[in-house]
Amino acid sequence: MTVDFEAQLRAVSLRVTRPRLAVLAALRDHPHVDTHTVIALVRDELPTVSHQAIYDVLQALTDVGLVRRIQPAGATARYESRVGDNHHHVVCRSCGAIADVDCAVGHAPCLTASDDHGFVVDEAEVVYWGTCPRCATAPTS
């Protein structure tokens, strides 16, 4: 799948800048990374960009919905560029590894609450917790 980041930015009326493109590319190649990892990845490409500039880019992209911020309980915030499909995550209790889980029953069906109590629901947050394969097979001492 090829993604035209410049078109994505223009579609939300954000100016196309190299840091913005670099953050989107970093998140495409490395989903579910934390802020520090995003900074390291972007500065690999663009060594002169400041930490603050990258924080600002993450904030701006999250605000317009091009980037999704996820924060499992007790974990640091992670970012991903797979947005709009209301997918879920499975998180390893042991090492914090995160993987995507498609909605089990079609497109964003979790938005249909069994009883919405009259609320207008726009997001369903489901986190599956468990042990990742690497941790499950690691020898216990």
Point out the annotated binding site for Zn(2+). 92, 95, 132, 135
Binding segment toward Zn ion, per CB under 5 A, in 37-45, 53-61, 72-80, 106-114: 72-80
Nearer to Zn ion, 46 or 127 (CB): 127
Sole window of 12-20, 84-92, 109-117, 120-128 interacting with Zn ion (rule: CB under 5 A): 84-92
Contact assessment for residue 67 and residue 120, using Cβ atoms and an 8 Å cutoff = no
80, 81, 86, 91: which one contacts Zn ion (CB under 5 A)? 80
6 vs 100, beta carbon nearer Zn ion: 100
Kindly state whether residue 67 participates in binding Zn ion, applying the rule CB under 5 A: no
Buried b (16+ CB within 10 A) or exposed e, 96-127: bebeeeebeeeeeebeeeeeeeeeeeeeeeee
Report the residue from 23, 27, 39, 92 that binds Zn ion according to the rule CB under 5 A: 92
- Structure letter (DSSP) for residue 106: S
Q: What is the dihedral of CA 122, 108, 117, 91, to 10 degrees?
A: -90
In 67-118, where does DSSP find H-type helix? none
One-letter amino acid at 128 equals: Y
Name the segment binding Zn ion (CB under 5 A); options: 2-10, 19-27, 92-100, 122-130: 92-100
